Amino acid sequence: MKEVIDINNANKTKNMVLTAMFTALITAGAYIRIPVPVCPFTLQFLFTTLAGIILGKNRGAAATALYVVLGLAGLPVFTGGGGIGYVLQPTFGYLIGFIAGSYITGAIVHSGKASAKRILMGCFAGLAVVYAMGMIYYYMISAVYMHEPIGLGTLFLYCFVLAVPGDIVLCILSAALAKRLMPVIHAKGTV
């Protein structure tokens, strides 16, 4: 009986450490900026996607949500700082989308055997969710709060067309990384 309790405690500890690690990686990803014209390109999406793939839907979304909560609490973990006022930033919808994207990615990847095809499907589904939520939020904040409505064509160009190519590359990279990391992290006896 004591061995079962020890294994459960070890698994809980491993889960907490992995969740905290991904929260830290997402934070680091916000500060790793690749200079491209028009829109900032960071590695947040890479780590939120990996969180969903490796930790699963619930823990992956929890790691991403913890990142967002820390930022809203005032820690400067977002690309533009932190604080509760960040909810009024047009790009805050992408942060909400990261949580949902991690969940969707994890749900798809862990709904069957984690094949390369399933992992890529999960990554692209998570990407679609992130962009859908980000663009809807951007449109609403621009129109309602900032009183500067943005046209749908302009929104699509700046918030999707110019930004998505890099994130497509990150989907492929996260799938490749996950395929190598999952056996190591989920190996029996590595607790």
- For the chain, which ranges sit under pLDDT 50? 189-191
Which pTM value belongs to this model? Answer: 0.90
pLDDT score, position 191:
37
Orientation of helix 44-55 relative to helix 2-31, angle to 10°: 160
Question: Alpha-carbon distance 68 to 28, whole Å?
Answer: 13
pLDDT score, position 179:
93
Q: What DSSP line would sit under 83-118, residue for residue?
A: SGGGGGSTTHHHHHHHHHHHHHHHHHHTTS---HHH
- The structure tokens listed for 5 are 């309790």
The phi, psi pair for 81, rounded to 5°, reads 115, -130
What single-letter amino acid sits at 17?
V
